[in-house]
Structure 1
Amino acid sequence: MGGLNELFEAARAVRERAHAPYSRFKVGAAIRARSGRIHAGCNVENAAYPVGACAEGGAISAMVAGGDVAIAEILVLGWNDANPDAPGLTTPCGGCRQRIREFAAPSTPVHVAGPEGIRRSFTLEELLPASFGPENLEG
């Protein structure tokens, strides 16, 4: 399977297509599915704020539409264009952490990046400890 650079480039390319006229905070996300294929998504804002879509959710939808159902790793790329050197991390929001959990194990890597590259890597367990997942509903 390809390296993090492949995920970074996919997230960077899709981030440029984000629709963020209100926050002006563009985000791209790229998933490497267990199949090895990469699926990407960007945030899409809506005038009926906050009825938009997060980049991670878009990438998950693309993954499922593409026939994959398991996340091997995910990279989230976001920064404020007015201050690209700000040191903050663009981690997935709470809702997206749960969406990722639906298709990923607690040990799944979640990479957070800025324009210069990877800023930090977490496991999903670090971002969503003691999570509720599909196995909680298995009979």
Structure 2
Amino acid sequence: MIRTTPTAAFWISPGGEILGVGTSHISKIIDTPERFGLTMTYLKAVYKDYGEPLGFEGKARDMIVREVISRGWIRLRRYPNNCWKINLVDFSEQVQVTLACWAKRMLCSGISGFIEGDGYMPVITSHPDGCFEHKTTMKDLAQSR
């Protein structure tokens, strides 16, 4: 069943594979750390360093998500009645093509049971450290390549 989504979350791998995120981006990493080039030992060590329980949405989570993004993964989250936020390490030609394909699918057929019903939903693409920020809409992103 496809439904118009008020909230949704995805990871896109460096190779372009789109992964639906269940509860949170960090939970997807914890469920399959090898897929992200990490190990459970590494994840537990980072959480221990920050004195946080595994899976907590705090500083350890931020560190791990930044690490994954630095390896070329793209993090996408739709905030209800607000915008899509996309975090990535660069805005290369290949990344732009990947995002255009993702946006087209979200608007036309949906992904992982979610479809974007608003072509004018804002999209904010940025580096996790704030090095750059790009603003567009789902419709314009889908038509960009």
TM range (shorter): 0.3 to 0.5
Structure with larger Rg:
2
The structure showing larger relative contact order (alpha-carbon pairs under 8 Å, at least 6 residues apart) is 2
TM-score (norm 2): 0.38
Question: Which has a greater percent of helix?
Answer: 2
